[in-house]
Amino acid sequence: MSYDEGRSWPVSRTIYPGSSAYTAIEVLADGEIVVLFERDGYKKLTLARFGLRWLEAAK
């Protein structure tokens, strides 16, 4: 996560430890973050949903 418009990325979390490809990311109206990504050699499409608290816990 970046606090300076993308100049640095001091906070990061692993959503999936294997090979994957980013497809889409959105912030929902309730503040939850959803990431849609391909994994396992593009054989599976996965939707991950998490809150800002989970992401910031990586600090």
Per-residue pLDDT of the chain (59 residues; tens, 9 = 90+): 788 988 988 888 899 999 999 789 999 999 999 999 999 988 999 999 999 899 888 76
Name the residue ranges covered by the structural domains of the chain: 1-59
Residue 43 in tokens: 């054989």
**Longest CA span, the chain:** 35
Please answer whether residues 58 and 4 qualify as being in contact, where contact means their C-beta atoms are separated by less than 8 angstroms. no
Q: What is the pLDDT of residue 3?
A: 85
Partners of residue 50 on adjacent β-strands:
33
Q: Which residues contact 32 (CB under 8 A, 6 or more apart)?
A: 49, 50, 51
* CA 3/CA 10 separation, integer angstroms: 8
Q: Which DSSP helix (H) or strand (E) runs through 52? A: helix 52-56
Q: What is the pLDDT of residue 23?
A: 80
